[in-house]
Structure 1
Amino acid sequence: MQTQKKLNCSGALLLGAAAVVSTPAAAYEAGDILFRTGAVVVAPDESSDGIAIPALGVPPIEGTGVEIDNDTQLTLMATYMFSDSLGIELLAATPFTHNITADLRAAGYGKVPVGEATHLPPTLSAVWYPLGSASALSPYVGIGVNYTVFIDEDVSSALEGAVPIVANDIAGIDLGESVPLSMDLDSSVGIAFQLGVDYNLNDKWHVNASARWIDIETDAKITNRDLGTVITVDNVKIDPWVYQLNIGYRF
């Protein structure tokens, strides 16, 4: 239901822009470079396989999974126009950091903070202005490829303290009060779709808004030097909606 609402909202962005009667503006031309900067919100629509505990011989537990919160950062975008309606766009941003929570309610342990992960999600897209760009309000669509690399992963002290409790409950193993843990998340390559609109203030400056969906999937592994692989979560589909509001300049 949440995803459907987001889809409806994104569709309204394009349809509403196309319906507005706007005043003439100088069309983009082949060779134009558009530079944009502003705010970008990454809102994960996450799902995953169940949480497994290989160190205790526990397979994926049905009904468990992970939750990932939103983050807002500074976005940097550059678009090269091949014509008045076709271009290639590169999306970059300052690193995003998301808090991760393990939902263990199905196993009787409630929700446990896992830690946080920092990533960079550069995305290269082809963009098309179906109505051309010679109007003040110019909607566009885009499709491209995303590469997400996780550059820092930190495990919370709450999880390091929860592992000994679970180990004692399940296997009667005494691990003390806390177990030092490390987390590793695989990089991801996936497709990206977007809807956007430019509002041209004059021949040089414009305001840009867009909504984008990105296919991001990773496998998570949490380890301990002595115990080996303690926790795994496979097929973590982050699949975020990415919302942007930018100011742009045409070179």
Structure 2
Amino acid sequence: MTTARFVLALGVALAMAAPAAAQDFQPKEKGLLMLNARVSGVLTDAEDPILTSGGAASGLNAKVGDDVMPTLGLTYFLTDHLAVEAIAGTTKHEVKAVGPGTDVKVHETWVLPPVVSLQYHFAPQGKVSPYVGAGINYMIFYGGENENGFKVDIDNGFGYALQAGVDVALQGPWSANLDIKKVFFETDASVNGGALKSKVKLDPWVVSAGLGYKF
């Protein structure tokens, strides 16, 4: 599924939820905790050159696939407008070597990309409350499986993220949520002990929709 189609599908789902918003709803305020359970699409267009150990072009690119996962986000409101959110979830991604006449799966890996962000919430007392945020993340690659005779190593590391979203109040403490993050992350991958290498800019979009509950 392309990024545009995924965003459109989530937007339609949120639009359908909005008319259900009731008069009796719990607004955002200082000291409030909000738990969001979401379905998230991790969408990356990463396709970066694979080089030899001497730095020469191999004619191939490293291509990373997309995935969809459940995620949990916990938000604490420092003030009515300012909040800190931590999210966690894990995805599995396919890594291919692609080029003219070549499309070979070389690796499959799990990724744990926790993100902590500082958010500013507009209209915290309103039924529709958009927000923006920025934060950091740490990419952890684990459970890797090598394919077709290749041995691939991928470095963990820090990145940063920008965020925008909206909460639509439903009945009582419940809300619908649409959230979009752009994560900026670059990693080094080596193949067969460094015989081949690639600096991969993952830079995924993380597009999510779900339900929130306020405590």
Instruction: Specify the TM-score bucket, using the shorter chain as the normaliser.
Output: 0.7 to 0.9
1:188 matched residue in structure 2: 157
2:50 matched residue in structure 1: 51
Higher helix fraction (1 or 2): 1
Of the candidates 91, 98, 103, which is equivalent to residue 111 of structure 1?
103
1:36 matched residue in structure 2: 36
CA distance in 2, matches of 1:110, 1:222: 16
Q: Alpha-carbon deviation of 1:152?
A: 2.2
CA distance in 1, matches of 2:147, 2:71: 28
1:155 paired to 2:146:
yes
**Superposed, which structure 2 residues align to 1:72-221 within 5 Å?**
72-93=68-89, 95-105=90-100, 109-130=101-122, 132-157=123-148, 160=149, 181-221=150-190
Q: Let me know the Cα RMSD of the aligned residues.
A: 2.6
Cα deviation 1:110-150 (Å, max 9, x = unaligned): 222112111100000011113x2111111111111111110
CA distance in 1, matches of 2:153, 2:102: 23
Contact residue 23 and residue 135 of structure 1 kept, 8 A: no
Q: Give the residue type in structure 2 aligned to 1:89.
A: E
Q: Give the residue type in structure 2 aligned to 1:29.
A: E
Report how many residues are paired: 205
TM-score (norm 2): 0.85
Higher strand fraction (1 or 2): 2
Contact residue 98 and residue 118 of structure 1 kept, 8 A: yes
1:243 matched residue in structure 2: 207
TM-score (norm 1): 0.73
Q: Alpha-carbon deviation of 1:45?
A: 2.5
Contact residue 28 and residue 83 of structure 1 kept, 8 A: no
Distance 1:27 1:58, change over 3 A: closer
- Greater CA radius of gyration, 1 or 2? 1
CA distance in 2, matches of 1:138, 1:249: 14
Unaligned runs of 5+ in 1: 161-180
